Amino acid sequence: MSEEHKPLLVARKLVKHFPITGGVFGREVAKVHAVNGVSLELHKGECVGLVGESGCGKSTLGKTLVRLLDPTSGTILFDGKDISTLGYKQLRPLKRRMQMIFQDPYGSLNPRMTIENILREALLFHKVVDKGGVSARIDELLDLAGLSKAVRRKYPHEFSGGQRQRVGIARALTVNPELILADEPVSALDVSVQAQILNLLQGLRAELGLSYLFVSHDLKVVQHFCERVFIMYLGFIVEELPCDDLETDVRHPYSKALLSAIPVDDPRDRRDTEVLEGDVPSPIQLPKGCPFHTRCPQAEEICKKENPELVVIGKAHRVACHVVARELGAQN
Ligand code: SF4
């Protein structure tokens, strides 16, 4: 297997629940079922998207995969090593290889420090370069993030949203990561600035051989930025497919509804809009059967009783739906 096609990150039956405590003794009274048995792979140099509505568990899944959160159960392999249960000390060298970019890095940038000092602190803390090499490395990082040397003495509040995101990217690059978890990295930015940041991330991927786990509520952004997408609903992956096949081969009723909500670039290309009725059920009390059955226009009796398995239906294409599985079975 070539390096590019070796899985860098693998999740098997990954579960993340958050306990809700109550009463005088603070006992667990319920759980938020944020991630429910997710299995996925991300290959070296690949960019995959995690997409779904707000509260679907995509950010929690991303953070659990890079061990910012502890999994409740399941396995996570990073570069072949089981990192699911490693403690803080054992994780530290591995965490350098996985960095995060946030929606707005402002909250994670010390407002009293200049950009130069923010980057210097990260470089020295992680012992990436010796003291003599820090200044030259700061220039390199600013250059990689498309910022001029003139910003070295500026403070975070002096930057626009797009520039701040570039600072966040520069800081993530201080430790020469291999995998970047980008959690809604452009959703707070204007459309023109979004494109600039996405272009920057694509360029860095080619230049530095990075892999991205790209978390977004915006299927259109993911469609253009990623090779593969995992569509999530209520903490489950309901469909995985190559982004090139989204327009032609999407199968799950929820994925179809998400896709139909994307405005088309050319008004002559009409797309039937599928409006979903009802609200997403509470992740505290998951519905029995298919998690989507309470809103699914195609739901049948079996959907209320049995949660469909995610089954392979094509190259890099998996779907969890009784109806799709039956239709494909009938065709074959
Ligand atoms: Fe809809 Fe049933 Fe398929 Fe779930 S299994 S998506 S409820 S048709």
Q: Residue 1: its pLDDT value, please?
A: 52
Return the HEC string of 181-228. Answer: EEECCCCCCCHHHHHHHHHHHHHHHHHHCCEEEEEECCHHHHHHHCCE
Q: Residue 23: its pLDDT value, please?
A: 84
Q: Cβ distance 306 to 290 under 8 Å?
A: yes
Question: Residue 322 CA: which ligand 1 atom is closest?
Answer: 5
Percent of the chain exceeding pLDDT 70 equals 95
Closest residue by CA, ligand 1 atom 6: 321
How far apart CA 151 and CA 110 sit, in angstroms, is 15
Q: Residue 306: its pLDDT value, please?
A: 97
Give the mean model confidence (pLDDT) for residues 49-58: 94
| Residue listed under structure tokens 């739901």 | 299
Q: Residue 40: its pLDDT value, please?
A: 96
User: Could you tell me the CA-to-CA distances from 185 to 115, 256, 303, 311 in Å, in that order?
Assistant: 19, 24, 35, 31
At 276, the pLDDT band (50, 70, 90 cuts) reads confident
Is 299 a pocket residue for ligand 1 (Cβ < 6 Å)?
Answer: yes
Is 323 a pocket residue for ligand 1 (Cβ < 6 Å)?
Answer: yes
Q: Which of 79-93, 122-136, 146-160, 228-242 has the highest mean pLDDT?
A: 228-242
Q: Residue 299: its pLDDT value, please?
A: 95
Is 321 a pocket residue for ligand 1 (Cβ < 6 Å)?
Answer: yes
* Spatial CA neighbour of 183 closest among 168, 167, 204: 168
Q: pLDDT tens across 8-33, in order?
A: 999 999 999 999 998 888 898 999 99
Tokens of 213: 């786990």
Is 310 a pocket residue for ligand 1 (Cβ < 6 Å)?
Answer: no
Look at 102 and 67; give whichever has higher pLDDT.
Answer: 67
How far apart CA 247 and CA 332 sit, in angstroms, is 22
**Beta-carbon neighbour count of residue 120 at 10 Å?**
20
User: Could you tell me the CA-to-CA distances from 194 to 81, 117, 152 in Å, in that order?
Assistant: 35, 26, 23
Tokens of 302: 């079996």
Closest residue by CA, ligand 1 atom 3: 321
Q: Residue 95: its pLDDT value, please?
A: 86
Phi, psi of 169 (to 5 degrees): -70, -45
At 267, the pLDDT band (50, 70, 90 cuts) reads low
Determine how β-strand 228-233 pairs with β-strand 236-242.
antiparallel
Q: Residue 332: its pLDDT value, please?
A: 57
Q: Residue 266: its pLDDT value, please?
A: 66
Q: Is the pLDDT of residue 2 over 60?
A: no
Q: pLDDT tens across 68-85, in order?
A: 999 999 999 999 999 999
Is 147 a pocket residue for ligand 1 (Cβ < 6 Å)?
Answer: no
Is 231 a pocket residue for ligand 1 (Cβ < 6 Å)?
Answer: no
Is 298 a pocket residue for ligand 1 (Cβ < 6 Å)?
Answer: yes
- Angle in degrees, 0-180, between the axes of helices 115-125 and 161-173, rounded to the nearest 10: 20
Which range, of 123-132, 227-236, 271-280, averages the lowest pLDDT?
A: 271-280
- Average pLDDT of the chain, as a whole number: 91
Ligand 1, residues 239, 280, 292: which to mutate, most atoms within 8 A of Cβ?
Answer: 292
SS3 state of residue 322: helix
Phi, psi of 164 (to 5 degrees): -65, -40
Determine how β-strand 317-319 pairs with β-strand 236-242.
antiparallel
Instruction: Please classify residue 214 by burial: count the beta carbons closer than 10 Å to its beta carbon, then call 0-12 exposed, 13-18 middle and 19+ buried.
Output: buried
Question: Residue 293 CA: which ligand 1 atom is closest?
Answer: 7
* Extended strands (E) in 83-175: 98-101
Question: Residue 290 CA: which ligand 1 atom is closest?
Answer: 4
Cα 280 to middle of ligand 1, angstroms: 14
Q: Residue 268: its pLDDT value, please?
A: 63
Q: Residue 255: its pLDDT value, please?
A: 96
* Spatial CA neighbour of 286 closest among 33, 35, 72, 53: 33
| Residue listed under structure tokens 């509505």 | 53
Is 259 a pocket residue for ligand 1 (Cβ < 6 Å)?
Answer: no
Is 322 a pocket residue for ligand 1 (Cβ < 6 Å)?
Answer: yes
Look at 122 and 268; give whichever has higher pLDDT.
Answer: 122
Question: Residue 254 CA: which ligand 1 atom is closest?
Answer: 6
